[in-house]
Amino acid sequence: MNDTFQAPANGQAVRAAAARGLIPVLTSQGSLARLDEQQVSARDRAFLRALCYGVCRTLPRLEALTGELLRSPFKSRDRDVHALLLLGIYQLLYLRVPAHAAVGETAGAARLLDKPWATAVINGCLRRLQRESSALQEKVDRDPCVALLHPAWWLKLLRQAWPDDWREIAIANNQPGPMTLRINRRHGDRERYRERLAESGLGCQLCQHAPDGLTLEEPCDVRSLPGFAEGEISVQDEAAQLAVELLGPALAPRPGARVLDACCAPGGKTAHLLEVFEISLTALDSDAARLERVTETLNRLGLDATLKHADASGLEWWDRAPFDAILLDAPCSGSGVIRRHPDIKRLRRPEDIRHLASLQADLLDTLWQTLAPGGTLLYATCSVLPAENTEQVEAFLARTPDARVTTPEDVAWGRTAGAGRQLLPREGGHDGFFYARLEKQA
């Protein structure tokens, strides 16, 4: 997790911006998706993201250490100062930033937050951490939740669901996910694109299970990759790319098939379906802003779909013409993609799982009505929790007599999990995902 960064052009400004960006997460009021990167120069944005995502990834440990370093917690109006201290600890322990910069620039950033009094406090705490680093880390790591960087309730759920794998899942969650690309088949194959990457001095590996995927050896700005602006590639994890493989038997023999992508934003799977199959696709999402991102993606790729701003748990949007296939990439806890969205660990609550499971059940029941007899529904989540996956599908099958499981078992990825297949997040590999393929009996 130790990354090296070019010294920021304005170190104090970047750290102050990072502190402001972390406050919504620390107060459970918002996610890093709203991080305003425009407040720093283009050169410093990668460092800003690394700071904010890194702090969220390691937050349980950083907060345990602040408890050791502070005589008393900061007042609620000084959450920005608290965030600065977290940033300082993160830099000292996890980034290859010169220690003098980690301490001096972070403490100095307090002045940019109009709190010059905090400069001495942060400086003192970070100096003490430097002196007593080993002893302090050893002390806080006695708590397994701190050592594994997860809240206790998350670890409990993982242990219950995956008694033989929970620790490896937690460790994988703590590593940044690799940058995986999806090659647009309409422009060529991944072997040809790998040669183009090599010509640009970039190394990659072909994905093992997704035939359109390759993973870069080092992440980079996607806009710098050859052919991105022309729609030749997109960024998409290997596990997410498998949705198209699972829908293939239902779509490949049926050009012009009527297909629904029910919760489509941000549109990665929408675009992949259109790249591979000659279909008539309706893409639905309840979030207008995220639907706009789908529009931008399809425009870049030169693809066309019917986009609708609507809630898939109702049928007001439906024209009563049944669909031949449906992709339901259901809203979920995101427990399989924590490494890409580490703020999930702070923002989710135990009761969210029950609420999400209820929503997933409503979506399944509603969308099943729009599926033609003989049609296929692919249920997907980026979760590793049985309540959203195996238990969800088993309950649906119990109350839906015309549903038949067609999830393949002869595939090399994932593991059988009830009526579906479960992928667990792998360090350096794919995200955690669940798929169940269901056919509506004629």
Is 323 in contact with 370 (CB distance < 8 Å)?
A: yes
- Condensed to tens digits (0 to 9), the pLDDT of residues 92-151 reads 999 989 999 999 999 999 999 999 999 999 999 999 999 999 999 999 999 999 999 999
Task: Give the pLDDT confidence score for residue 126 in this predicted structure.
Answer: 98
Residue 363: pLDDT band by 50, 70, 90 thresholds? very high
Angstrom distance (rounded) from CA 260 to CA 321: 11
Considering the chain, what is the average pLDDT of its residues?
Answer: 95
- Condensed to tens digits (0 to 9), the pLDDT of residues 65-102 reads 999 999 999 999 999 999 999 999 999 999 989 999 99
Task: Give the pLDDT confidence score for residue 9 in this predicted structure.
Answer: 64
Residue among 56, 207, 263, 382 flagged as catalytic: 382
Q: How much of the chain exceeds pLDDT 90, in percent?
A: 93
Element (H, E) at 128: helix 118-131
Angstrom distance (rounded) from CA 45 to CA 47: 5
Element (H, E) at 234: strand 233-235
Is 3's pLDDT higher than 70?
no
Sign of CA dihedral 144, 148, 151, 154: negative
Cβ within 8 Å of residue 329, ≥6 positions away: 243, 261, 262, 263, 264, 269, 380, 381
Q: What does each C-alpha distance from 35 to 111, 121, 206 come to in angstroms?
A: 21, 26, 32
Burial class (CB in 10 A: 0-12, 13-18, 19+), 267: buried
Is 1's pLDDT higher than 60?
no
How many whole angstroms from its chain centre is CA 411? 24
Respond yes or no: is residue 125 known to be catalytic: no
- Condensed to tens digits (0 to 9), the pLDDT of residues 28-55 reads 999 998 899 988 988 899 999 999 999 9
How do beta strands 420-423 and 415-417 pair? antiparallel
Is 407's pLDDT higher than 80?
yes
Is 33 in contact with 24 (CB distance < 8 Å)?
A: no
Task: Give the pLDDT confidence score for residue 428 in this predicted structure.
Answer: 80
Alpha helices in 344-442 (DSSP H): 344-347, 350-368, 390-399
